[in-house]
Amino acid sequence: MQNNSGIQEKPGCEEPLISLKGVRKRVGDRFILNRIDLAVPSGRILGLIGENGVGKSTLLRLMAGILLPDDGEIAGTRRIAYAPDRDIFYNWMKVQDALAFYQGYYRGFRTKKARELLETAGISPGMRIRTLSKGQRERLALTLTLSIEAELYLLDEPFGGADPAFKREARIFLLKNLPDGASAVIATHLLKDLEQLFDEVIFLTGGSELRRMETEELRETRGMSVEQYYLEVIRREKQEEKLSE
């Protein structure tokens, strides 16, 4: 199937981990998501790209089951781990309190794995969360989320405060710590830093418009990076639409 950008899109042939059909979600007096169709296959890392306010976080919350659609159908695995764009930790907590919370709340939480990953990051169980930097808090949240035994990981801006070295190693980190066959959908605006992370990108531009493509195919077909395509094609098209209204 080919979209109006000329990029060949590849529909998945395997049973998806989760699928959305005709999903609509109203926020206030408008539908922020309107008749969205999306299927997430196994064993993939997908980037969810779009400006603030187009519905990226809302889409992840719908997939996680935190929000219910106003219309449409969401079906698939419920073995989902979700990390919001803001962590859920209290400042009075120590890291070991956060570990204990996840261990008690999530069935199949891999405590040993979490401790090993935190030790590698230089975050000890006795550290108070209020003393952690923004990047360390994000690393803690990401580590705890990836220590949940799941099939689908939904991560909302997980690398915003991460140091440049960790951003460069993000793909290796995820591939090493995602269970076999699991997929991740990652909402981000850090295209320049993270585009090498993704197998596919999903551009969400508002309402019902959703454009999806393979990152390698984009580079080979257009000779453009994900960031270039977003800035020079997606955003330009939206600006032209506004001018024509």
pLDDT recorded at residue 62: 97
How many residues are present in the chain? 245
C-alpha distances in Å from residue 223, one per residue of 186, 220, 226, 231: 24, 5, 10, 14
For residues 83-106, give the mean pLDDT.
93
Is residue 34 a contact partner of residue 207, using CB atoms and an 8 Å limit? yes
For 166-193, write each residue's pLDDT tens digit.
Answer: 888 888 889 899 999 999 999 988 787 7
C-alpha angle with apex 152: 147 to 158, nearest 5 degrees? Answer: 65
For 184-231, write each residue's pLDDT tens digit.
Answer: 999 988 787 788 889 999 999 876 678 898 999 888 888 888 888 888
pLDDT recorded at residue 10: 44
Is residue 80 a contact partner of residue 150, using CB atoms and an 8 Å limit? yes
pLDDT recorded at residue 166: 82
Q: Is the pLDDT score of 149 beyond 90?
A: yes
* 22-26, 100-104, 224-228, range with the lowest pLDDT: 224-228
Angle, nearest 10°, between helix axes 134-146 and 95-105?
A: 30
For 1-16, write each residue's pLDDT tens digit.
Answer: 334 333 334 444 578 9
Taking the model in full, what pTM does it have? 0.88
Q: Is the pLDDT score of 33 beyond 70?
A: yes
Helices marked H in 121-214: 134-146, 164-168, 170-177, 191-194
For 111-136, write each residue's pLDDT tens digit.
Answer: 999 999 999 999 999 999 999 998 89
Lookup: tokens for 215:
């990152």
Instruction: Give burial (CB, 10 Å; 0-12/13-18/19+) of 52.
Output: exposed
Is residue 102 a contact partner of residue 145, using CB atoms and an 8 Å limit? no
Q: Is the pLDDT score of 142 beyond 80?
A: yes
pLDDT recorded at residue 24: 95
